[in-house]
Amino acid sequence: MLFLAEAIVALLILIGAFFLLVGSIGLAKLPDLMRRLHGPSKASTLGIGAMLIASMVYFTAVHGDLSIHEILITFFLFITAPVTAQMIAKAHFLAERRAGRLALPPTGTPAGWATFDPCQADASAEEDRREAEARTDTA
C-alpha cells in the first residue's frame, strides 16, 4: 500500500516536471508572443496541478496526516491563469498598435475590436478604411 502511494507520488511529480519543462521550452522556442502564451499555461495548470496532487497524496498517505491545503494554490492558480493571459495579450496588442491591429482578422461589423478603446477602435477603423480607399484609388 505504501509502495503504491510512493509510486503514485513519484509518477505525479515526474508528470508535473515534464509539463513544466515543455511549457518553458515552448516559451523559449515559439516565434511570437501570442504563440508563446500557450506554453506557460500548460505549465501552470498541468505541471503545478500534478505536483500539488503529488504533495497532497504524499503527506496524506506517507506521513499519515490529512493534507488538503494544496487545493488553495491549485484553486488560486486556476483562477488567475486566464486573467494573466488576458492581460498579457491585451498589453501586447496595445503595445504594437498599428501592426497588431492589422494582424487581427476583420470583425465583420462597423465597430473595431473591443480590446481597443471604443473611440480608438472607431478612429482606427476610419484610418483603415481611408487607407483601403487610397489603395483602390491608386490601383
Question: What own/partner pairs with CB < 8 Å and gap ≥ 24 does 89-97 have?
Answer: 89/34, 89/37, 90/115, 92/33, 92/34
Taking the C-alpha atoms of residue 46 and residue 40, their distance in angstroms, rounded to an integer, is: 10
Contact of 26 with 38, CB cutoff 8 Å: yes
If the CB atoms of residues 23 and 112 are measured against another protein, the closer one turns out to be: 23
If the CB atoms of residues 2 and 139 are measured against another protein, the closer one turns out to be: 2
Least CB distance from residue 98 to another protein, whole Å? 15
Q: Which positions touch another protein (CB under 8 A)?
A: 6-7, 9-11, 13-14, 16-18, 20-21, 23-25, 27-28, 33, 36-37, 39-40, 43-44, 47-48, 51-52, 54-55, 58-59, 62-63, 67, 69-70, 72-73, 76-77, 80, 83-84, 87-88, 90-92, 94-96
